[in-house]
Amino acid sequence: MSQQSAARPRRVVSKPLAELVNRALDPLIARQGFGEATLLTQWDAIVGARIGALCQPMRLNWPPRPKNGAPDSRQQPATLALRVEPGFGLDIQHMSDSIIERVNTHLGWRCVAKLAIRQEPLHRAALKRQLAPPSDPAARARAEQTTQGVENDALRAALISLGERVLSEKKPG
């Protein structure tokens, strides 16, 4: 080691928070049969927002491995257990091939062969309902007035929604 390399300070490279969180969660979710945290943390991106709003993964159930250690014993695909919002089990069952394909594409191999559906309320849906701010008519009226010059309907609706949230959080005084 030369004097120049010893005198140079080491360069610190920052890492994305998502990478650190996923690495910290991996041992915890391994108990549920998952090999990595991304299946849980990126569920909506993997299956799409519409399907993600109706279900969430609970665990991966792997078939038992043969005890004899046969040389041709390949890993058999798992069953993905899903928690499904009550009343949507049949819809998810009909979309099961698409869900399995999306999950396997994300993981990069044929990890999941079938789904097991359990209908019960989703935990995050209840949390979203609790966190939704109450509607403030005065804030909505002010946001609508502010966005009158916007011609694009979709953009105007998004701006009104954002403005309503921002204005309702502001406290006078």
CA–CA dist 170, 173 (Å, integer)? 9
Considering 16-25, 42-51, 153-162, the range whose residues carry the highest mean pLDDT is: 42-51
Instruction: Give 96's pLDDT tier (boundaries 50, 70, 90).
Output: very high
Query: How many Å separate Cα 53 from the centre of its chain?
Result: 10
Placement of tokens 């089990």 in the chain? 89
Instruction: Give 87's pLDDT tier (boundaries 50, 70, 90).
Output: very high
Contact 112, 97 (CB under 8 A): no
State pLDDT tens for residues 118-143: 999 987 644 454 445 557 888 889 88
132 φ/ψ sector (left φ>0, alpha ψ -120 to 50, else beta): beta
Q: Where are the domains of the chain?
A: 17-63+75-129, 133-169
Mean pLDDT of the chain: 79
17-63+75-129 CATH: 3.30.300
Q: Write the secondary structure of 14-77 as one string of H (helix), E (strand) and C (coil).
A: CCCHHHHHHHHHHHHHHCCCCCCCHHHHCHHHHHCHHHHCCEEEEEEECCCCCCCCCCCCCCCC
**In 3D, which of 63, 49, 33, 58 has the Cα closest to residue 102?**
49
